[in-house]
Amino acid sequence: MLNRLLLNHYEAAAVILSCIGLTNLLLQRNMIKKIIGLNIMDTAVYLFLAAKGYISGRTAPIYYLNEAGEWVNKVEAYVNPVPAGLVLTGIVVSVSVTAFALALTLRLYEHYGTLNIDEALFLLKNKYELEYADYDDDDELLYEFGVEESPTAFQTASAYKGNKDASPLKGEMSGTDRGVKRGDDDE
């Protein structure tokens, strides 16, 4: 068993890297760390394809002259070029996906002020609940929290915990921009 593992050490390393990347992708809450885990998994796939495509004693599929001065054109003298092409294509796609994921992560950070996926989902949930909450004409939810203008999701979540001094998120819309009706606008 150990002999086979040592013989196929590139494949074993690819499986270990894939497990590390998958564990990182599933257990980390930080979006940047999740993207790093995805890149580790991509690297494992490339290592596996390169290991499977290489055959010991063979060369790249380019015609060359041997010692006798003859052109070598037998298939048995060359390695398979398809895995190398797949690896190059995969690297291009991986770089594009990583750039897109980092751009989305940057937008997430600008909007919610955090890279933690749990915190962002909590803020999104509270913002959704705030936007679609039923307001009474007598005591509006906005004044119930002691907020002069419309609260952000972070302020709303902090008010539930009794912390009214929380700093608001950047770029939030006011209540009228969101279509929230105020008591004096009723028709």
Angle at 152 between CA 171 and CA 106, to 5 degrees: 40
How many CA atoms lie within 13 Å of 108's alpha carbon, on the beta-carbon side? 20
CATH ID of 2-115, from 1.10.287.3510, 3.40.50.1980, 2.40.50.100, 3.40.449.10: 1.10.287.3510
The token pair at 148 is 């002069």
φ and ψ at 64, to 5 degrees?
A: -150, 165
Please give the torsion angle defined by the CA atoms of residues 81, 84, 88 and 93, in that order, rounded to the nearest 10 degrees: 100
> pLDDT tens across 43-80, in order?
999 999 988 888 787 777 777 777 777 787 777 778 88
Domain chopping of the chain, boundaries: 2-115, 118-185
Q: pTM for this one? A: 0.63
Q: For the chain, how long is the longest CA-to-CA vector?
A: 99
